[in-house]
Amino acid sequence: MLRYWTAGESHGPALIALIDGFPAGLPIDIPKIDAELVRRQGGYGRGGRQRIETDSVTFLSGLWHGVTLGSPLAMQIVNRDAKLERLEEVDRPRPGHADLPGAIKHLGGVRAVLERASARETAARVAAGALSRQLLSVFGIEVAGWVTELGGLALGDEGFGSGQPTLPELRALRDASTIYSLHPERDPEVSALIDRVGKDGDTLGGIVAVRVDGLPIGLGTHAQWDRKLDGRLAQAVMAVQAIKGIEIGMGFAAARCRGSEVHDAIHYSPAERAGPQLGFTRPTNNAGGLEAGMTNGQPLVIRAAMKPISTLRKPLESVNLTTKRPEEAAYERSDVCAVSAASVIVEHVVAFEVAVALIEKFGGDSVEEMQARWSLFHDLARSR
Ligand code: EPS
């Protein structure tokens, strides 16, 4: 079973991702992981912290000569702004952050909670996801995330059409945009909005999207609720800081349509029998690649909604936890908008859950054994 945990405070010495259950025999491209960490640090609207940090991973275990050993992998990302010991207690909780419920829950202070609740922790999740993507790539499974909406500005939803655009085309558009949307030509309009809102001391949220191509039929299961892939993906995505909602495929829009407008017809094309869909084609992909908690061979399509960051330079009303008197919430250096970063994070938590499901179905102790099981399954399925 593939799983991971993270450790580390926002201003502590380092973040750690500990990955267990990863197969042996995969050469790891570390600069490729670092490139995703750099992308997570970017996007228009980020605050001063990203000018201090230069995120990169060091493997503390699990690799020998750059190849996975099949033992736990510990990845470290050093915090340059490691000033936790010098930081003071916070007594005015920020509405929307972990401050109030966390302090009461732990019978302690706000600092102890906000340091771990901070989205800084997502660097470790991206590292784990970027590692898992290298395993997915062996099987031809590719992932991309981008921004579809920011501060109420719709930035195009076209990345979802079956194979239109292709993932390389989609990445090229996204990487040309400082917002990570598929419409770089709209960047000036979006960054002007972020600037305006930042000047007001306020923050912005948005919607991010992820597509996974090359999936086989049958990852996940219909058989038990806690192993359904849609449920696991929702858990992973909803557990990203500031994410308030997830849609798979048509999502909420399906609730407003008739069944005949929602469900994807099943066709068969003998010419496509050799492909991962085994010849079964679907003219539409409203299901977003998942039926009954299993992949159906279509691209996996997910959208997630991010609320605006809760640290406001123009603070909201709060209460001093010591005096219980009304005071403005605390302000600490923060971002005006981190929706672009969220697109990278959601992309990587989705990738990790797909890798978990891949190992569940085709898992072995080594990548070679997984490849053999992958081939055996597809041969058997084609022989029916
Ligand atoms: C965050 C506050 C800011 C963000 C941080 C999330 O950090 P700082 O207080 O050091 O300026 O920049 O995000 C990151 C550091 C990051 O790497 O994503 C918060 O309170 O959640």
Q: How many CA atoms lie within 13 A of 322 on its CB side?
A: 6
**Amino acid residing at 152:** G
Residue 145 CA to its chain's centroid (Å): 8
**Atom 19 of ligand 1 has which residue's CA nearest to it?**
118
Q: How many CA atoms lie within 13 A of 179 on its CB side?
A: 32
The correct answer on CATH 3.30.450.40 for the domain covering 3-382 is: no
- Ligand 1 mutation target, pool 113, 120, 311, most atoms within 8 A of CB: 120
Q: State residue 60 phi and psi, 5-degree precision.
A: -95, -15
Among 286, 268, 279, CA closest to 217: 279
* Whole-number Cα distances in Å, 267 to 42, 213, 219, 262, 272: 42, 19, 21, 16, 11
Cα 332 to ligand 1 centroid, rounded to whole Å: 9
* Whole-number Cα distances in Å, 321 to 9, 13, 97: 22, 28, 15
Q: Strand, helix or coil at 251? A: helix
Report domain extents, the chain.
3-382
- To the nearest 10°, the Cα dihedral for 296, 145, 79, 13? -20
What does the pLDDT read at residue 162? Answer: 57
The answer to whether 134 and 2 are in contact (CB under 8 A) is: no
What does the pLDDT read at residue 297? Answer: 95
Compute mean pLDDT per 10 residues along the chain, 384 residues long, and list them: 97 98 98 98 93 96 98 98 96 97 97 96 98 98 98 88 80 97 97 97 97 97 97 98 97 97 96 91 95 97 97 95 96 92 98 98 96 97 92
Determine the Cα–Cα distance for residues 286 and 313; give it in Å rounded to an integer: 41
What does the pLDDT read at residue 165? Answer: 87
Nearest atom of ligand 1 to the alpha carbon of 122: 18
Q: Find the distance separating the first CA and the last CA of the chain, reported in whole Å.
A: 29
**Atom 3 of ligand 1 has which residue's CA nearest to it?**
334
228 secondary structure, DSSP code:
-
